[in-house]
Amino acid sequence: MNTTTLAKYGCISMLTGVVYFLYHSQDTESHTAQSPSQSDTHIDTSSTRDLLDYTLTSMGEQDLTQIRERLFSAQQHEKDLAIDESLFDTFILYKTALAELEPNEFHTINLSALQQLNQQILDLQNQYFTPQQITLLFDEENRLRQLAIDKIDINTRDIDPDSKAQLLQETLANQPDYIQRAERNNLLMAQLSQSLKQEQQSKYLTRVNLVGEEGAQRLEQLDQKREIFNQSLESYLEKRQDILSSPGLSDDIKHDQIAELRQQSFDTKQWRRVEALERIYDQK
């Protein structure tokens, strides 16, 4: 499946997760082992699906065998999340098959194409999982995907705006509470995104209105941390480039000097992230 199509379906769940992070600190200690690049992140044990997705974010750094061993060799496995080795292996097979979906017959991404693609995804789920497992792993994303299709369907109908608004309201009202919360979160994220274009004072006031004083302060702190990191990264990449461009240095010396520069410029927990950004920078 191409990246653009997947992004259309994945954005709602992603935005919901961002808002959840805004309101909920994850201070509870988790015993699931992390890979080195995940050491500065919180393990997402919100649900079985969230833990599976989080575990697989270390792909590339580790192979599937290592990820599998790391997940199931943790001292205290998250038993309440109903993950066993069979489910993990089946989930991997499903993700592989999902990635191979290529809607080449869809010349444009319209309502009909999205409906067909949605059905292909549902068919794959039925192929690999039991109804109980589908509910456990995919209930939210399936509902959100169908809701997105229903909204497109309503918006493309030849009816007046008031009728469209009424249909949209009725469609949302028939959803479970958590879906309705997700929709409100989507609207919130869109509004917060728009606030980034405002001047500092206006941005802060908009955020206070949207998420309250405490939420606005936390967002401002995140902005400051992001800005500090970006400035450090920019300076680091310039110095790194100078080292790489030095004709009198051997590759081994360049490697050692860059490693020392990285250690001097960033906290230990940020090294993996910086190395990943280096690779992206080198590909430009």
Report the predicted TM-score, pTM, of the whole model to 2 decimal places: 0.56
Say yes or no to pLDDT of 47 above 50.
yes
Q: What is the pLDDT of residues 154-212, one digit of tens each?
A: 999 999 999 999 999 999 999 999 889 888 888 888 888 888 888 888 888 998 998 89
pLDDT value at position 13? 41
Distance CA 56, CA 78 (A): 16
Q: What is the pLDDT of residues 116-162, one digit of tens each?
A: 899 999 999 999 999 999 998 999 899 989 999 999 999 999 999 99
